[in-house]
Every structure is written in structure tokens, then in C-alpha cells.
Structure 1
Amino acid sequence: MSSITRLGTANTYDNALRQLTTRQSQLSKLQEQLTAGKTILRPSDDPTGAAQAERARTRMARVDTDQRALEVQRNAMATAESTLGDAVKAMQDFRALAVQAGNTALTAADRASIAQQMTTLRDQILGLANEKDSNGQPLFGGLGSTAAPFVDQGSGVTFDGVAGQAATGTVSVPATLDGHATWMNVPTGNGVFAIAQAPGTSTVYTDAGQVTNPSALTGDSYSITFSVTGGVTTYDVMNTSTGTAVASAQPYAAGQAIAFDGLSLVAKGTPANGAALQVSPSTTTSLFGVLDSAIAGVRDATSSGAVAQNIAQALVQVDAGLARLQASRGVAGDLLNRVDDIAGRQENRSIQLEADRSRAEDLDMVKGLSDFQTQQTAYSAALGSYAQIQKQSLFNFIG
């Protein structure tokens, strides 16, 4: 006995309608995906993919924040490097004026005029030290506030910032430079010891001196006192730190080296009886103190010997100040290179994160269009099938 499977008209209608509804829903979703260009329209579509895309977006936002902070730091360092370049140029002009002032043919009025030009350059350099970036932050304030870090008190320039350099964000690139190290840390003398005329001494002067035997240096202070007896000039060297004599009644000859305890200096001029030179360990002073001393040495010198001594000392310290500025400029340049390196790494990271996000949620448009066309064809077929089923009736088979 054969089995006959019978399908009711209503059941056939329901199956066809379900197929049609499914096809229509799939077609609508594909159309949404094509419009948005994404495979994930809502987290429920693919929770894992949605989480991956959100994680990539969060990291991209963090990188973008770091890139903006880095651009601020780049601009600050570029401004600092340019400002230091201007300061170096002004210092070179200042040095040229100091050399010019050493001409013994100049009158006191001539030197006063040169001193005024040097003062103008000194004020210009002070202005550069207080330069600010585009956000109003002092370039050389260190860890200080937005107030001008270098204050001219009349008796000298003081540093009102905080030594050090400030870094912002997570990239650890300073947004400011250490103004104290740049402008307030110039070694006196030749960097090892400094020579000065004792009060009342003006007819003998020296060069900056040099180290001849580092192992023999004591780090003590000395006095070189000249004596003139019967037209013969001699000198005594006293260690003023220990109170002991180092050399006694040594014959003096202008232009010959005076050497002791690992150092030497060349004295010139005609020292008067009792004239003295003082030798002390090098310390640090501010660049503005160097400039002020040089200006005073040019303006207030009362003899050619005093001018020569003042200019010799000034040039050594101006050169030391120039070296500090150039070193700080080099630091700014290195930081700019570092910023470029970090920016390159951040850009690569951003590209990688964008690729991760795209893989997680973006639609392959070629595949999406192909799927849409396939689904559209299937929907049309389902629609035609449903239309045919609707026409079926028992009366069609009653003849």
C-alpha cells in the first residue's frame, strides 16, 4: 500500500512566505552594509569583531592625542632652537665689539660708545632668554611658571624659574629647556681656574692661563705679588688656601710664563711695587654676569693694561657662554630629531590600528556587491515562487 504525503495549501503558503521574508531580511541587511560600508552595523552582528574594532578606535584616539601633544612640543623645540641661534648671533656680535674695544688707540669716549652697543646686545639677549612659545610658555623656564624666568634686578639677572626641563604627555619629550643650565651655568676663567687683578692693580695683566699638569692641580687659591727693588721686578706666589709659599723672589719678564702647581699664565705689562694677581678655582656664573662684567671692563677701564686684562678675561668667558648656548642649541636639535622619530613611529602605529579596525568591521565592497546581487536574484525567485503558489486552488484541477 503506497503512502501519499499531502501538503495543505495553508502550509505551502506559510513556507513560501517564510522564505520570502528571510530573503527580504537578508537583502535589507546587505543593503544596509553596502550603504554603511561595514559588515558590523550593531554589536550583536559580531560581538567579537565589534570589540576588536572598538579597541582599535580607542587606541587610535590615544595615538591621536599623543600626536597633537607631540606637535606642540615640536613647535616649542623648533622655536627654542631658532631663538638660541639668534642668541648665538648676538653673542658673536658682542664678542666682536669686545675685540674692537681692546684697541689701545681708542679713547675713553670711544670705549664708552662701544660699551653702549654691547649693552644693547646684552638687553637683546635677555629678551631672547625670556622668549615664549605659541602657548605663552617660556622656552627656558624649566619647570617654572608662565612668568618671565629671567629678571633683571639692576644689580644682575636672576633666574626665577625652576631648574630642569618639563615633559608632557606619554612621549617624554621636553616642552621646555633647562634655562638655568643654558643661561646661568657659565664657567668662570678658563673653566679650571680664573685670574683677576687685585684691587688697586692696573699695570699688569695676563691671559686666561692654562693647565700644564692636571695631576698637580690642587684646587686652591693663590696670589701672585710683584715687588720692584732697584729697578728689578720679582714675584712671589702664595697659596692663600693653605697660607704656604709656593715660590719666592722669582724674576719677572713680561710675556714669560709663570708656572706653579700644574698651571701657568703669561703676565704682561709693567707691574708696580705691590701689584698682585689673584688665582682662584673656576666657579660658575650667569651669562648675563659675563656680559655685564665685559661691559663694565670696557667702560670703566682707566689704563691700557686694565683694558687688556678686562678684554682677555671677557673673551674667555664670552667664548664659554657661546659654548653653553651652542650646546643647548644642539640639545634642541637632538630633541627635534627625537620628535621626528617618535612621530614616525606613531604614524606607523596609527596605520596599523586603522588596518586592525578595518579588518574587524569594514565591508569588502566587491564581495558585498556580489552577495547583494546574488541575494537579489534569490529574492526575485522567491517572490515569483510565492506568486505562483498564490494562484493554486482545487478548482484549477476540477474539470
Structure 2
Amino acid sequence: MRISTLQAFSNGVTGLQRNYANAARTQEQISTGNRILTPADDPVASVRLLQLEQQQNVLTQYSDNLTAAKNSLTQEEISLSSANTILQRVRELTVQAGNGALSSKDRASIAAELQEREDELLGLMNTRNARGEYLFAGFQGKTQPFVRQADGSYAYQGDEGQRKIQIASSLDIPISDNGKKTFVNITDAGRLQLAPPGAPGLPGLRVSTPLVQDEVAFSSTPAFPANGIEIRFDTVDPRSYEVHAIPSTGPLATGTVEEDPVKANKLVFRGVVVNFDGTPAGGETVQVVARQVGGVDVQKQGVLDTIAQLRQVLLQAPDSPEGNLQVRDAVALGLTNLDHAMVTLDGVRGEIGARLNIVETTQTDNEDVTLVNKGIQAQLRELDYAEALSRLSFETIILEAAQQSYVKIAGLSLFNKL
């Protein structure tokens, strides 16, 4: 086969370029530390690396979401802990207000601190997060959730939404609790009333507002009658009474009003307590039914309304036996409702604690998956330096040999033989 001078020169240059390119590529791999410089180096590994990078980006977003969830839940837990501390102090003041030896001025001083605690609690319930959104407003983050109205009661202006955030591929976790669930939907121990209200027609006997003191007994079988009860005092023995369901199917219980006024005269029936003060004349009938507003049964009451109503009674009750009875009833109702409020807060705090545990566990899993992901990426992408250095040394020898051979071949010519 004949080889022209041009062909010899061209083959030599091509070989030099190829050997130089191999050595340069190996040198670039060593300088970058990456085995794959272009997808053509390893198509299968390149696709796998792209998938792993996408997964890593998702894991990074989940990590950011976990941090945000932890911060939000921690802030909510701190706010609820502070609210619980306030309620404990309010309960102490309520117990103190139940002292029958206090004067109206003493009760007014207690009411003054209750006002301060009420305002403090209102501020906590309107807490904002780092983004300036109200923590307990549900989805209405820009709307102040709790507002004091002209009559001293409180209105909730948020909604019942619960914000969630995705912290894993198939796991969303709530990062907030709406104020209605936390502070408003609290079982009201005063959800029963006398019918007719105030029990008129009982000049010698005062019947207190019914109090649901034991929720378990109230709802357990046999439960408190759905339509209420009727208390009937005997005409022959005025101090004796019978308790009938409405409508009556016969007496469910009986009792007697003690002659000694110092003794506690009260009816305790299936979790409901009714106090009797005075002397019945005989033949009185009192009904205990569900309290209604606008034709709807009242079952819940907000904690702020509980404090406000107690405070108003302490301020308005006169220095008289009747005033002392009003305070007694208000204190009993307030203590029970405060206990319900603290139980509700403890329940929400328990849910927050469970979510924080999930966040911590998911963070650990996320970090473990991230380490595995980076390890696989390293195996696919990173260079084996020992192999690369050996290869670079070999390619350098080849390049030098090619250069020397090219010089010798380029020097060959038939004219040198003439």
C-alpha cells in the first residue's frame, strides 16, 4: 500500500491530537475531581445523577419546610404555655374570690387583676408569627382573630382552617391551630338554665343556676335527660322533692332540703348541681333545661367570656347575702369553665408535642436519605484518583512516544537516499 507524504503527516497530526486530547481530558478529570465531564462520558450514570440531584433538591425543600414547621409549632407551644400560666393565676384569683368574708372592695381589687389578666390573655390570643400573620386566625392570617365588643364579650373573626406544610413525599403536618378550637369551643358548665328563668313564683326559696360539674356523669348512661328535668317539692312535706324527667315517667331521684342553713342544700343529679337557699313553701316546681340563644342550645363558651363574666359579677355583686350567693354561683361556674379551658389547652399542646416529635423524626430520616443520596452521587461522579493518575502517566508516555515517532517519520524522505 502506498502512503503519501501528506497522508503520513496527517496521520501523525491526528494521532498527536488524539493522544493530547486523552491526556488533557484525564488532567481535567483530576483537576475537577469528577469522572463524568459530559453526559457522553457515561450516559447511564449521567441520567442517574440527574435523578439524584432532583431528589436532593426536593429533600432540601423538605428540610426548609421542616425548619419552618418546627419554628411555627414551637412559637405556638410557647404562646399556649404562657396562656396556661395566665389561666392558672386566674383560677387562683377565682378561688380567692370565693371567700365569703370578702367585701365588695376586696372583690373589686380581685376584679381589677382579672381585667389585667384578661387583657394579657387577649394579647396572647392575637399573637403574630414572624411573617406578621396572626397565629390563631386559621386561614385568615391578616385578620385579627379576637376582638372585644362593646358589651364586653368577645368575637372570633378568624375561621376554622388549619394550615399544613409538606415535610415528606406523602406527609403533610399541621403547623397551626385555629383560635375557635383552642380558645372558644370550650365546654360550658353553665349550659343549663332554670325554666322559667330565675324561677319566679318561689318567694321563700332561691334556686341557683344549674351547673354541669361532672361531664362524665352528665353524658354516661344513664345520662342527664335530653329534654331536662323537673324538680317537684312536696305539698305535705315542703322540704322533700322529687326529680322527674321531662316528660315525666316517674321520679328518678328524691331529696330533702335541710333545716340547718349552714349545711349545703344542693341537688346533685347525674353530674348537675343545683343549690337551694331558703325554705320551700311546698308545691314549687322548677325545671332545668338547656340554655338557648336564638332558639339554639348553647354548648360552648370562650375562655375570655368566662373571665369577663366572672369579673362583672365580682364588680356588680352587692355587700349582702344575695350578693354573696351570686358570687358563690359565679365562682363555681368560673372554676369549672376554667378547668375545661385548661384541659382544652393541654389537649392542643399535646397535639403540638406529637407534631414536633414527627418533625424531629422526619428531620432525622431526611438527613439519612440526604447522606445516602450524596454517597451514591459520589460513587457515580467522583474520580478514582489512583486510577486516573496511573492513566495520565500512561497517556503521557504514549503522547511523548507519538511526538518522537512523528519527528522521525517527518524527517524521512527518498531524496535523502539519492
- 1:368 corresponds, among 385, 388, 402, to 388
For residues 58-73 of structure 1, the aligned pairs below 5 Å read 58-73=54-69
Unpaired runs of at least 5, structure 1: none
User: Partner residue of 2:306?
Assistant: 290
Distance in 2 (alpha carbons) for counterparts of 1:360 and 1:40:
8
C-alpha contact 1:203 1:306 (8 A) present in aligned 2:
no
User: Partner residue of 2:172?
Assistant: 172
User: Partner residue of 1:101?
Assistant: 97
Q: Give a deviation string over 1:334-354, Cα, whole Å, max 9, x none.
A: 111111122222222322333
Distance in 2 (alpha carbons) for counterparts of 1:272 and 1:116:
38
Amino acid at match of 1:216: P
C-alpha contact 2:233 2:242 (8 A) present in aligned 1:
yes
- 1:86 corresponds, among 79, 82, 86, to 82
User: Partner residue of 2:118?
Assistant: 122
Paired residues in the alignment total 389
Using the TM superposition, give the Cα deviation of residue 82 of structure 1 relative to its aligned residue in structure 2, in angstroms.
Answer: 0.5
Q: Residue 187 of structure 1: SS of its match in structure 2? A: coil
User: Partner residue of 1:258?
Assistant: 267
Q: Does 1:139 align with 2:147?
A: no
Distance in 2 (alpha carbons) for counterparts of 1:305 and 1:228:
26
Using the TM superposition, give the Cα deviation of residue 180 of structure 1 relative to its aligned residue in structure 2, in angstroms.
Answer: 1.3
C-alpha contact 1:189 1:195 (8 A) present in aligned 2:
no
Distance in 1 (alpha carbons) for counterparts of 2:219 and 2:27:
88
Q: Residue 168 of structure 1: SS of its match in structure 2? A: strand
Using the TM superposition, give the Cα deviation of residue 36 of structure 1 relative to its aligned residue in structure 2, in angstroms.
Answer: 2.5
- 1:41 corresponds, among 27, 37, 43, to 37
Q: Residue 81 of structure 1: SS of its match in structure 2? A: helix
Q: Does 1:215 align with 2:221?
A: yes
C-alpha contact 2:211 2:273 (8 A) present in aligned 1:
yes
For residues 239-388 of structure 1, the aligned pairs below 5 Å read 239=245, 241-242=246-247, 246=251, 250-253=255-258, 254-255=263-264, 258-260=267-269, 262-263=270-271, 265=273, 267=275, 269-270=277-278, 278=288, 280=290, 283-302=299-318, 303-388=323-408
Q: Does 1:390 align with 2:413?
A: no
Q: Does 1:159 align with 2:156?
A: yes
Instruction: Report which stretch shifted further, 280-289 or 143-152.
Output: 280-289
Using the TM superposition, give the Cα deviation of residue 365 of structure 1 relative to its aligned residue in structure 2, in angstroms.
Answer: 3.1
Unpaired runs of at least 5, structure 2: 292-297
Instruction: Report which stretch shifted further, 45-54 or 266-275.
Output: 266-275
User: Partner residue of 1:199?
Assistant: 198
Using the TM superposition, give the Cα deviation of residue 160 of structure 1 relative to its aligned residue in structure 2, in angstroms.
Answer: 1.3
C-alpha contact 2:213 2:336 (8 A) present in aligned 1:
no
Distance in 2 (alpha carbons) for counterparts of 1:343 and 1:317:
39
Using the TM superposition, give the Cα deviation of residue 126 of structure 1 relative to its aligned residue in structure 2, in angstroms.
Answer: 1.3
Distance in 2 (alpha carbons) for counterparts of 1:27 and 1:196:
99
- Distance 1:327-1:350 versus aligned 2 partners, 3 A rule: same
- Distance 1:117-1:228 versus aligned 2 partners, 3 A rule: farther
- Distance 1:209-1:15 versus aligned 2 partners, 3 A rule: closer
User: Structure 1 length normalisation: TM-score?
Assistant: 0.84
- Distance 1:116-1:224 versus aligned 2 partners, 3 A rule: farther
Matched residues, percent identical?
A: 23
User: Partner residue of 1:189?
Assistant: 189
Amino acid at match of 2:317: A
Amino acid at match of 1:311: V
Amino acid at match of 1:40: I
Instruction: Report which stretch shifted further, 136-145 or 89-98.
Output: 136-145
Q: Give a deviation string over 1:14-46, Cα, whole Å, max 9, x none.
A: 444332221101011112222332222223333
Using the TM superposition, give the Cα deviation of residue 235 of structure 1 relative to its aligned residue in structure 2, in angstroms.
Answer: 4.3
C-alpha contact 1:31 1:372 (8 A) present in aligned 2:
yes
C-alpha contact 1:209 1:265 (8 A) present in aligned 2:
yes
C-alpha contact 1:165 1:174 (8 A) present in aligned 2:
yes
- Distance 1:189-1:195 versus aligned 2 partners, 3 A rule: farther
Distance in 1 (alpha carbons) for counterparts of 2:273 and 2:316:
24
Q: Give a deviation string over 1:83-103, Cα, whole Å, max 9, x none.
A: 000000000011111111111
Using the TM superposition, give the Cα deviation of residue 59 of structure 1 relative to its aligned residue in structure 2, in angstroms.
Answer: 2.0
C-alpha contact 1:143 1:164 (8 A) present in aligned 2:
yes
- Distance 1:79-1:196 versus aligned 2 partners, 3 A rule: farther
Amino acid at match of 1:113: S
- Distance 1:300-1:242 versus aligned 2 partners, 3 A rule: farther
- Distance 1:287-1:228 versus aligned 2 partners, 3 A rule: farther
Instruction: Report which stretch shifted further, 104-113 or 334-343.
Output: 334-343
Amino acid at match of 1:342: T
- Distance 1:259-1:150 versus aligned 2 partners, 3 A rule: closer
Q: Residue 284 of structure 1: SS of its match in structure 2? A: coil
Distance in 1 (alpha carbons) for counterparts of 2:367 and 2:305:
46
- Distance 1:280-1:46 versus aligned 2 partners, 3 A rule: same
Distance in 1 (alpha carbons) for counterparts of 2:339 and 2:253:
34
Distance in 2 (alpha carbons) for counterparts of 1:331 and 1:372:
61
C-alpha contact 1:23 1:378 (8 A) present in aligned 2:
yes
Q: Residue 173 of structure 1: SS of its match in structure 2? A: strand
C-alpha contact 2:230 2:288 (8 A) present in aligned 1:
yes
